[in-house]
Amino acid sequence: MSLSLLIVEDDEELATQLGEQLSLFGHRYTIIGDGRRANQMIATTHFDAVILDRILPMIDGVTLLKSLRQHNILTPVIMMTALGQSRQKVEGLESGADDYVVKPVDPAELNARLQALVRARGWTDNRADETLRVGDLVVSPARHSAWRDGKALRLQKTEFKVLAELVRHAGTPVTRAMLLERVWNYDFEPATNLVEAYIRRLRIKLMEFGGDDPVVTIRGLGYMIRG
């Protein structure tokens, strides 16, 4: 999915590098160096998503974001925060950011989050419980149950959460960090292969009644269920 992105970052070199790396994933990008011009640009031009730095000249990232949300501009926004500054993350999310990435940004991680964000834009709170269908997989968050090819899967609570996250973003990669945040609610990366261990169990249970492995491993990044 090619996206039209706005990068709001005052470090020109960093912004250009990030734009070039994102263009390798097929996205188009525009760079704006300060908050005030970014505000005007977002109000007049359509973007699929905004990548917003926390610290900016004129208007800082959080103020800009609050202003956008107050004016009911709901363009998905990913905040870029400094590592070891969890306060920035909390401020960003409280101000209306949809997600955050830690600097230095890993382009593959950012791409995965952008894809997930834009796809999930359709999911609002009252649809979060709606049954999800991908190929022969059916996942019902409301009933906490999943079926493959009509056969009920015996999944544990966490295995179910992992599957639901993968199915919700079917066709786009879900990174290890995204799974840790969304399934386990961890803002840190455990030293052991926690995610891999659950994926391994999930795969076994998904193939219990036959069929191919629907989970694709994306080396060095995460996992994906084919859309």
Partner 1 sequence: MIFFRSLRALTLAFLFFFLFATLATAFGIYFATLKTIDHMVVQRITSTSEVLAPEGEQLSAGRIGRRIMAAARDRDTGDLGLILLERGRQIAGNVRVSRPLPLGLSQVDPADEIKGLSHGRVLVRDLGGGLRLAVIAETEPFDNYNAARKRIYIFGFGSIILVALAAATTFTLIIRQRIIEMRRTVDAIVEGDLSQRVPGSGPHTAFGQQAHAFNRMLDRIGDLMTEVQNVTNGVAHELRTPLARLRNHLTLIAHDPRALPVRDRIEEAQAQADSLLSLFSALLRMAEIDSGARRENFAVLNLADLVADCAEALEVVVEDSGHHLSVAPLQPIFVRGDTQLLSQMVINLLENAVRHTPSGSEIRLSLSVAQPGRAALIVADNGPGIAPVDRERALDRFGRLSRGSEVKGHGFGLPLVASIVRLHGGSIELGDAQPGLEVTVLLPTA
Residues at the interface with partner 1 (CB under 8 A): 21, 82-87, 90, 103-108, 158, 184-194, 197-198, 200-201, 219-220
Helix (H, G, I), strand (E, B) or coil at 53: strand
137 HSE (CA, 13 A, CB side): 25
CB of 223 to partner 1, least distance (A): 16
Nearest CB to partner 1, comparing residues 2 and 193: 193
CB of 167 to partner 1, least distance (A): 20
CB of 100 to partner 1, least distance (A): 14
**C-alpha distances out from residue 186 to 20, 100, 101, 103, 194, Å:** 31, 14, 14, 18, 12
Nearest CB to partner 1, comparing residues 73 and 108: 108
CB of 17 to partner 1, least distance (A): 8
Nearest CB to partner 1, comparing residues 74 and 90: 90
CB of 47 to partner 1, least distance (A): 24
Rounded distance, CA 29 to CA 22, Å?
A: 8
Nearest CB to partner 1, comparing residues 17 and 67: 17
* Exposure string over 97-119, b if 16+ CB within 10 A, otherwise e: bbbbbbbebbbbbbbbbbbbbbb
Nearest CB to partner 1, comparing residues 147 and 184: 184
Rounded distance, CA 127 to CA 225, Å?
A: 20
